[in-house]
A and B are shown apart, each in its own frame.
Chain A
């Protein structure tokens, strides 16, 4: 039985307070298991980044966590309630247990400091007892890990290509051997070849070091290849969650179905590329019932006024969950 490393329950994140608040993440329950790659996909604006910022308590203002809990399970020791950490505890927790590679990884490096400075400061902050030569050796090792020669240590960010900067960030994310690495669209700004190369390297590192990855992207095709499980987000909610292969073979939610038909099939028979009609919902004025129903080709009676909750589908699919009336027996309403 695989262990849980991060457990998110009932998480709600708003931008702003009061009536004007944008509810960007709604009642999200999500579990990350030790050493797995959990993919999180959805159209842009669906709240993926907000979820990532929320669980690491890095929300920029006016973002606020309205409710919910995030529990981290260390390898040994008691679970940690991330939301209850004091500022000092939070600083110690960050990067050591959960590191992040951001969406804007191109600008993730401080332009005025050398790569070495930025690798070393995080090691120094968390392991003040480590000697300077040991820290330096560690930093060199990290660069080697991501395939960058150690003589790049003294480079400034602008002297590196986009792909290299990205790999520096991945190396930096592994500096303290965290249990969880969150990646928010880490390769979106790169060309396809570079994207493949970096993801291949990431998969290999994960095998070797055993950290869990929460991989966020709007590109479901990437996840099908690289992740163990996939969660689909729509309008701030998780609408489907399943093992990657199963989700690819048989999507339960019509939205997932639509996403899968938005990119060419990787293998097997050709599929029609249809995309999803309509546009993502306005988070300030969400449709009643299932948020997807105005765009859903298969919407029926309950969809426009009753919200389907995420749960096991009625039609026997073990290990999966979906929030759709098509897969609810009528009694469960």
Chain B
């Protein structure tokens, strides 16, 4: 418990540091991004919005830096991340809110599937060395060593030609309105299959390999020999004794990979022009949309921190040795 509180305190501190950095960076950008925005949208921008932008970018000459900092926090706590330049006048929070479900839906689900499937195959490969799963390993290792960008492009070239079942870009059929109905959902699933498959191919072998190697390591532990000597069933020895111990390092790896769902999907979404957060970030960089970049960085930071906390909790739950009585 004490350990966990320490970790939480540490993550809160890190979050504070990241947000503070987020506050200072735009103030160091030379030039005046807000002024250029205002002049671009002459007359179409409300006084309120200008005020909010000025707070965000520290252009309010009447306030000291400290007062600006306090205002910045107030805005942040209300969920106000400013207005996006490219989607002006949509607030950044709305833009993020629209693209986050795509990222979480595609990458989140594939990350979980990849972990579960990879771990299960790794248990099999490590327990029965020389079985068919083992024979599969060189192939999966080869596939995972291909740079993702290339893998994605090859997948598009091979599977997504004109007339193919797999669309080569986007998250749904253009013209459909996002809604939970019989037109939109199948289209969204159809669009996600190819990117999901490429993510699985490139990420799963990591889980298989690490789980397999941990199984092999754990198999030579004394308590495994004892479990055999006790005459327990093969299944119980493999799962409750070997896999249960081999899983420990992988679970924290998994929790950490959840944190990279948001930040680590840039390539996938760029290659497939998928309307998620990574693609949004890519576009924001291209059009110098600082408020949107800041907002996305904030989300990425927070999700990495939350994932770290999850990893700690998972370890605490799974490994009694980390629990102090």
Contact = CB atoms under 8 A, between A and B. Distances in A.
A58 B226 CA distance: 9
A107 to B, nearest CB: 4
Contact of A95 (B231, B319, B320): B231
Interface string B224-267: 01111111110010001100110010000000000000000000
Interface string B209-235: 000000000001111011111111100
A156 B319 CA distance: 10
A171 to B, nearest CB: 13
Contact of B319 (A92, A100, A112, A125): A112
A109 B223 contact: yes
Contacts of B225: 58, 60, 102
A56 B228 CA distance: 10
Interface in A100-146: 100, 102, 104-114, 121-122, 125-126
A159 interface: yes
**Most-contacted residue by chain A among B225, B226, B244 (CB, 10 A):** B226
Contacts of B241: 110
Nearest to B236: A121
B222 A122 contact: no
A122 B231 contact: yes
Given A111-B223, A112-B319, A121-B236, A56 B229 contact: yes
Contacts of B236: 121, 125
Nearest to A110: B223
B231 A102 contact: no
B34 to A, nearest CB: 56
Interface in A55-84: 56, 58, 60
Interface string B11-54: 00000000000000000000000000000000000000000000
A107 B230 contact: no
Nearest to B319: A112
Nearest to A92: B231
Contacts of B245: 110-112
A261 interface: no
Given A91-B233, A96-B231, A121-B236, A108 B320 contact: no
A125 B325 CA distance: 31
Nearest to B245: A112
Interface residues of A, number: 33
Do most interface residues of chain B lie in helix, strand or loop, or is the interface mixed? helix
Contacts of B318: 112
A94 B231 contact: yes
A263 interface: no
A330 B226 CA distance: 47
A93 interface: yes
A158 interface: yes
Contacts of A126: 231
Given A94-B230, A95-B231, A110-B245, A156 B223 contact: no
Given A102-B222, A107-B221, A109-B223, A158 B321 contact: yes
A187 interface: no
A121 B320 contact: no
Contact of B320 (A60, A93, A105, A111): A111
Given A92-B231, A125-B233, A156-B320, A113 B226 contact: no
Interface string A182-200: 0000000000000000000
A273 B248 CA distance: 50
A113 B222 contact: no
**Most-contacted residue by chain A among B230, B240, B244 (CB, 10 A):** B230
A114 B226 CA distance: 15
A330 to B, nearest CB: 46
Nearest to A53: B225
A93 B231 CA distance: 7
A163 B221 CA distance: 20
A94 B227 contact: no
Contacts of B320: 111-112, 114, 156, 158
Contact of A125 (B222, B226, B231, B248): B231
Contacts of B244: 110, 112-113
Contacts of B227: 110
A114 B325 CA distance: 14
Query: 8 shortest A-B CB distances, which residue pairs?
Result: A94-B231, A107-B222, A104-B222, A156-B320, A91-B231, A122-B230, A110-B223, A108-B226
Given A58-B229, A108-B226, A112-B318, 19 more contacts: A56-B229, A93-B231, A95-B229, A95-B231, A102-B225, A102-B226, A106-B222, A108-B222, A110-B223, A110-B245, A111-B320, A112-B248, A113-B240, A121-B230, A121-B236, A125-B231, A156-B321, A158-B320, A169-B226
